[in-house]
Amino acid sequence: MTTSNSVPYAAQATESRVVRADRLWRVSLLLALIGLCIAGYLSYTKLTNTEIACVQAISNCSYVDNTPYAYLGGYGGVPIAYLGFAGYAAIFLALIGERRLAALRRHGKWLIFSLTLIGFLVSGYLVAVQALVLRSFCQWCMGSAVTMTALFGVSFTRLWRTLSAEPDGEETEQA
């Protein structure tokens, strides 16, 4: 079976899957960069002990950032911003590695899905803490949560498409 431009249908379908996969990979890369920028800024404010730039009318970043919930293990623990930066960096590097390393070509989508699932669950917990315990929100933290949620959704879609695609050579032609 061929199409009007003489390219076999199976080849067009494969090419279409590759283009969509490449687009989702690029969206993932962009979201990871956005997350790195947000977490990087929050990490910078922790490192330099400066106040977070915040629109006070809609959120209270300083309050949220100076509670024990902003640290793993409470005050004196590791700032959550550092963990967020490390998480986004790991996702970004895994995405780059998918194109360059054989092991990540085979298992990278699973790794990225796992990392984004952890990030999504942690973000959900931190949003719940802001809403239910602190009753105050940090716009940067919410931006990171939205970014991680989108990244999780894209990584889930990438993995789902990979798992649901028919293996090469098993396509059947119908007369």
**Residues 115, 126: contact at Cβ < 8 Å?**
no
Q: What is the mean pLDDT of the chain?
A: 86
Distances in Å between the alpha carbon of 158 and those of 4, 22, 29, 120?
30, 10, 13, 16
Q: Which of 26, 29, 36, 56 is nearest to 144 (CA)?
A: 36
The residues spanned by each domain of the chain are 10-164
**Strand residue runs (E) in the chain:** 71-72, 78-79
Q: What is the dihedral of CA 35, 41, 42, 44, to 10 degrees?
A: 140
Q: pLDDT-derived band of residue 164, with 50, 70 and 90 as boundaries?
A: confident
Cross-strand partners of 167: none
Query: What would the pLDDT profile of 20-34 be if each residue is shown by its tens digit?
Result: 668 999 999 999 999
Question: Is pLDDT of 19 > 70?
Answer: no
What is d(CA 64, CA 135) in angstroms, rounded to the nearest whole number?
9
Residue with the bigger pLDDT between 107 and 125: it is: 125
**Residues 81, 46: contact at Cβ < 8 Å?**
yes
Query: What would the pLDDT profile of 46-103 be if each residue is shown by its tens digit?
Result: 999 999 998 876 778 989 999 999 999 988 899 999 999 999 999 999 999 999 898 8
Of the chain, the end-to-end C-alpha distance in Å amounts to: 9
| CATH architecture of the domain formed by 10-164 | Up-down Bundle (1.20)
